[in-house]
Amino acid sequence: MRLLVIEDDPLIARSLEHALQPLGNTVDMFCTYAEAQAALAHDRFDLILLDLGLPDGEGLDLLASLRDRGDTTPVLILTARDGVDDRVSGLDLGADDYLAKPFSLAELEARVRALLRRSQQRSDNRLRFSTLSFDPTSGTATLDDTPLALPRRELLLLEGLLLHAGSIAPRETLERRLFGFDDVGSNALEVYVSRLRKRLQNSGLKIRTFRGLGYRLEEDREPGRAEGPEDETA
């Protein structure tokens, strides 16, 4: 999952990052209204954790402008323990849930999982396609019920493909998922796609390239045929 955390308190921000990243998540962190607004203007996330009191603006305004644009990304607001008015305003403005500070990390993780499930209309935590399954909670993948041990970025790639299973996972979305806002070379994503392809060899699944657009996880109807970025056009 790709999460956006907007929080200006460095201690809280760090604990959020530590809690969320091991779950197989890419966590982008911003501590100002302006930075968060810029990130949201040209990017999509699976979930936003939003602190309401930011040094250069109100989290509630950010939420309002998000919903005004018709953006339905789930938002979990972080409020002060006594901030009843903030919680009510936040929920009225379209926040999906709130957590009062200080919060327990276990509760945070459970609420994040629940919001992601709900937004993806899943009844449990797993993402599935054919014989492939990924559990974002534990960060484990299985193929034909056999554990698939993958390094972190291959797991993120697999998750990104599974989130778009049946359709094309946009190249840019996958790059952001794997590398965040880091500058990476133009073929960095291909390196991970080709590694994951090798692992899926003879599995009945393949990753199809749509040049200039992205990649799609598909059932492989012609196993044994060479896979590579050169074999597709779109």
Q: In the bound complex, which residue of the shown chain has the CB atom lying closest to Ca ion?
A: 53
State the amino acid at position 110 in one-letter form.
A
- Residue 139 lies near Ca ion (rule: CB under 5 A): no
Which of 53, 94, 139, 229 lies at the binding interface for Ca ion (CB under 5 A)?
A: 53
Question: Least distance in Å: CB of 213 to Ca ion?
Answer: 39
- Indicate the residue among 13 and 150 with the shorter CB distance to Ca ion: 13
Q: Which lies closer to Ca ion via its Cβ, residue 37 or residue 203?
A: 37
Q: What is the DSSP string of the chain?
A: -EEEEE---HHHHHHHHHHHGGGT-EEEEE-SHHHHHHHHHS---SEEEEESEETTEEHHHHHHHHHHTT----EEEEEETT-HHHHHHHHHTT--EEEEES--HHHHHHHHHHHHHHHTT-SSS-EEETTEEEETTTTEEEETTEEE---HHHHHHHHHHHHTTTSPEEHHHHHHHHHTT----TTHHHHHHHHHHHHTTTTTEEEEEETTTEEEEEE-SSTTS---GGG---
Quote the least distance from Cβ 16 to Ca ion, whole Å.
12
* By the rule CB under 5 A, 51 interacts with Ca ion: yes
Which of the stretches 36-44, 49-57, 82-90, 193-201 binds Ca ion when contact is defined by CB under 5 A?
49-57
Query: Total residues at the site for Ca ion (CB under 5 A)?
Result: 3
CB of 175 to Ca ion, least distance (A): 30
Report the site for Ca ion in 1-20 (rule: CB under 5 A). Answer: 8
Compute the least distance from the CB of residue 79 to Ca ion, in Å.
Answer: 10
Counting contacts by CB under 5 A, is residue 96 touching Ca ion? no
Q: How far is the CB of 116 from Ca ion (least distance, A)?
A: 24
Q: Are 180 and 153 in contact (CB under 8 A)?
A: no
Task: For Ca ion, give the closer residue by CB, 48 or 217.
Answer: 48
In the complex with Ca ion, the residue whose CB is nearer, 52 or 207, is: 52
Where along the sequence are the contacts to Ca ion (CB under 5 A)? 8, 51, 53
